[in-house]
């Protein structure tokens, strides 16, 4: 493979504390050198970054692929197209497919499907319980050996306390985290919006915000007892974040992520029954949105994930209470995160850490760095260029974005996987 020099860029590598102007040299798919004073090797392809930011390829730690079982919603291939357009080169795939990822062969299948795209590494979560049904624990050791990076039941809460207790105890020996969808099932069942004035006015079945905090409080105690590693996905309420913050201070092995809708939108986005904004958990009150944004800045939240959940148009063309929850987010992950940078709430390097090295560390992946010798997984973006999100024009199959119509600052100009450009034209 020929050498590629990407010059005239702002190099940001949060893992190394690097933020400098310069260039980066790719040789045989790996980062050969980088810094402010690189010469042009003879015969190298030279790309002018025009002052844009060059950072590690993004690592998205929560993605529903649709494959296997719901290919009409999305596949690994269509997710790879959307991911490349969003600067994402590594993603963790949820296990609640059909069939669920409760068999080592299915873990290996998803890893292989990622390699086939040549633009994306797929890191599968293993199902904690068989069929993600919450009744019988899956063979966690075999799934781990096959390549599962962590365990959970996807969008379904791990409900029986004893099941989670045993899983946290057992997973310690496997060196893997248990990932929880923090929502008390009996309180959330049948709900479509956050309980409050808006849900009442719209006549929607509602979920009390405390459903999240109640599950978080229970599970933190179980993690404390077992010394197991616990991760809460898409945390969306101030109360839950305060519980997690306090548990971290006590030394509990707990981490959490959130998704862009929970720090950029509030419950008013559902408007007059706008089903693209029906998510799980539901959008919250403005006070909770502000608390999530603050938790990004103070370090309580360990990563930002897209929570990409593709839905077919027919899944959403239903009355709000019956419509499927979920929104796509691969292509908008970076730009919506940058909104908090433009608002002055968090620094650019800190925001990129939540999208690169921090999720990579949680997943045990070597991705998310510009270190010499690392795979040349790269994202080149202009943080100030404006674009508008338009449902129907996004890359990939599903178009159910809660950000439809939103103007965003931050355009991905190029994405490289193992040194090969997988998105953007040479003139970009």
| Residue of 384 and 426 predicted with greater confidence | 384
Position 2 scores a pLDDT of 80
Residue 3 binned pLDDT confidence (cut-offs 50, 70, 90): very high
Sketch the domain layout of the chain as residue ranges: 4-54+376-423, 61-363
Q: With the C-alpha atoms ordered 117, 119, 121, 124, is the resulting torsion angle positive or negative?
A: negative
- Residues 238-261 have a mean pLDDT of 98
Q: Which residue has the tokens 């009355």?
A: 319
Place 427 in a pLDDT band, splitting at 50, 70 and 90.
low
* % of the chain beyond a pLDDT of 70: 99
Q: Which of 153, 307, 377, 382 does the annotation list as catalytic?
A: 307
Give tens-digit pLDDT for 222-248: 999 999 999 999 999 999 999 999 999
The CA distance from 14 to 56, in Å, is 9
- The architecture CATH gives domain 61-363: Alpha-Beta Barrel (3.20)
> What pLDDT sits at residue 426?
66
Question: Is 307 a residue of the active site?
Answer: yes
Q: Is the pLDDT of residue 428 over 70?
A: no
For 334-366, the pLDDT digits (tens) are 999 999 999 999 999 999 999 999 999 999 999
Give per-residue pLDDT as tens, 284-341.
Answer: 999 999 999 999 999 999 999 999 999 999 999 999 999 999 999 999 999 999 999 9
pLDDT tens profile 39-91: 899 889 999 999 999 999 999 999 999 999 999 999 999 999 999 999 999 99
| 421 Cα distance to chain centroid | 22
How far apart are alpha carbons 319 and 306 in whole angstroms? Answer: 25
The rounded distance, in Å, linking the Cα atoms of 185 and 204 is 18
- pLDDT (tens digit per residue) in 121-153: 999 999 999 999 999 999 999 999 999 999 999
Are the C-beta atoms of residues 4 and 419 closer than 8 Å to each other?
yes
The CA-atom distances, in angstroms, between 130 and each of 18, 65, 135 are: 44, 19, 7
Strand-strand pairing, 18-27 and 30-35: antiparallel
Which of these ranges, 1-5, 73-77, 225-229, 369-373, has the smallest mean pLDDT? 1-5
Token output for 345? 């709430």
Q: Tokens 């790269």 appear where? A: 378
- Position 384 pLDDT exceeds 70: yes
- Spatial separation of the C-alpha atoms in residues 186 and 198, rounded to whole Å: 22
The answer to whether 4-54+376-423 and 61-363 have equal CATH topology is: no
CATH number given to 4-54+376-423 = 2.30.40.10
């Amino acid at each position: 493979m020929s050498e590629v020099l990407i010059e005239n860029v702002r190099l940001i590598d949060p893992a190394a504390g690097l933020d400098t102007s310069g260039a980066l040299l790719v040789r045989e798919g790996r980062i050969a050198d980088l810094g402010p004073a690189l010469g042009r090797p003879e015969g190298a392809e030279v790309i002018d970054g025009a002052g844009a930011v060059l950072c590690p390829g993004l690592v998205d730690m929560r993605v529903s692929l649709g494959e296997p079982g719901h290919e009409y919603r999305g596949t690994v291939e269509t997710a790879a197209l959307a991911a490349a357009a969003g600067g994402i080169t590594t993603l963790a795939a949820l296990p609640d497919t059909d069939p669920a990822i409760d068999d080592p062969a299915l873990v290996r299948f998803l890893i292989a499907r990622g390699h086939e795209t040549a633009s994306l590494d797929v890191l599968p979560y293993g199902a904690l319980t068989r069929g993600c049904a919450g009744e019988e624990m899956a063979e966690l050791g075999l799934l781990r050996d096959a390549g599962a990076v962590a365990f959970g039941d996807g969008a379904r809460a791990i409900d029986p306390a004893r099941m989670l207790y045993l899983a946290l105890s057992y997973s310690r020996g496997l060196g893997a985290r248990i990932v929880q969808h923090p929502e008390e099932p009996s309180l959330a069942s049948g709900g479509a919006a956050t309980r409050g004035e808006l849900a009442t006015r719209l006549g929607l079945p509602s979920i009390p915000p405390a459903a999240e905090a109640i599950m978080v409080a229970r599970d933190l105690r179980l993690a404390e007892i077992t010394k197991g590693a616990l991760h809460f996905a898409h945390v969306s309420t101030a109360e839950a974040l305060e519980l997690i913050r306090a548990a971290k201070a006590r030394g509990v092995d707990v981490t959490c992520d959130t998704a862009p809708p929970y720090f950029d939108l509030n419950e008013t986005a559902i408007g007059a029954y706008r089903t693209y904004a029906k998510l799980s958990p539901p959008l919250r009150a403005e006070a909770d949105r502000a608390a999530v944004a603050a938790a990004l800045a103070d370090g309580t939240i360990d990563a930002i994930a897209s929570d990409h959940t593709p839905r077919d148009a027919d899944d959403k063309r239903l009355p709000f209470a019956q419509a499927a929850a979920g929104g796509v987010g691969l292509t908008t992950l970076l730009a919506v995160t940058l909104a908090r940078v433009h608002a002055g709430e968090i620094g650019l390097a800190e925001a990129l850490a939540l999208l690169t090295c921090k999720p990579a560390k949680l997943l045990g992946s070597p991705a998310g760095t510009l270190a010499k010798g690392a795979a040349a997984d790269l994202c080149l973006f202009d943080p100030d260029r404006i674009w508008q999100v338009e449902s129907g024009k996004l890359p990939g199959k599903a178009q159910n974005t809660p950000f439809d119509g939103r103007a965003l600052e931050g355009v991905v100009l190029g994405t490289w996987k193992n040194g090969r450009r997988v998105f953007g034209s040479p003139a970009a």
